[in-house]
């Protein structure tokens, strides 16, 4: 994987982690003391991220630097903070919404298997 591919993969994981954490780009920019377009450029893979920035993103999103770098495990463990965050958020959903979400997840899994 070349530098551009690695930067784009990192950008995607940063974007996913931000979304899973419930932050907007503006909120992240404010907490990271950056301009919102800077966060946008990082998430688009157009700007490199320093090791210090990566560490700060990981802390803000409550994920490991290894996950952001793509060095983490491909599967989740029960102690993974992202899974715990998801569980907390799922508890807030009404039963009908949870059922719809579970159906969407099943459809997503089926799409992944088919490709």
Task: Note whether 28 and 45 are same-domain residues.
Answer: yes
pTM listed for this prediction: 0.65
Task: Name which residue leads in pLDDT, 73 or 81.
Answer: 81
What are the distances in angstroms from CA 80 to CA 40, 58, 60, 73?
Answer: 26, 13, 15, 10
* Residue 64 lies in domain: 1-72
Q: Please report the pLDDT score of residue 29 as a whole number.
A: 97
Task: Note whether 64 and 79 are same-domain residues.
Answer: no
Task: Note whether 15 and 47 are same-domain residues.
Answer: yes
Domain total for the chain?
Answer: 2
Q: Please report the pLDDT score of residue 102 as a whole number.
A: 82
Mean pLDDT over 48-74 rounds to 87
Give the integer Cα–Cα distance in Å for 88 and 47. 33
**CB-based burial label for 39 (10 Å; 0-12, 13-18, 19+):** buried
- Whether residue 99 has pLDDT greater than 70: yes
Task: Note whether 23 and 54 are same-domain residues.
Answer: yes
What's the pLDDT tens digit per position in 22-47? 899 999 999 999 999 999 999 999 99
Task: Name which residue leads in pLDDT, 5 or 74.
Answer: 5
Task: Note whether 59 and 85 are same-domain residues.
Answer: no
Task: Name which residue leads in pLDDT, 72 or 89.
Answer: 89
Mean pLDDT over 3-29 rounds to 90
The answer to whether the CB of 20 falls within 8 A of the CB of 82 is yes
């Amino acid at each position: 994987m070349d530098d551009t591919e690695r930067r784009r993969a990192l950008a995607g994981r940063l974007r996913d982690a931000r979304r899973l954490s419930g932050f907007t780009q503006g909120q992240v920019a404010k907490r990271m003391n950056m301009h919102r377009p800077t966060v946008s450029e990082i998430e688009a893979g157009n700007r490199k991220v320093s090791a210090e920035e990566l560490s700060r993103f990981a802390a803000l999103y409550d994920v490991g630097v290894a996950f952001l770098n793509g060095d983490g495990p491909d599967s989740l463990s029960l102690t993974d903070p992202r899974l715990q965050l998801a569980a907390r958020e799922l508890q807030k959903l009404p039963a009908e919404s949870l059922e719809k979400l579970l159906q969407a997840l099943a459809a997503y899994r089926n799409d992944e298997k088919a490709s």
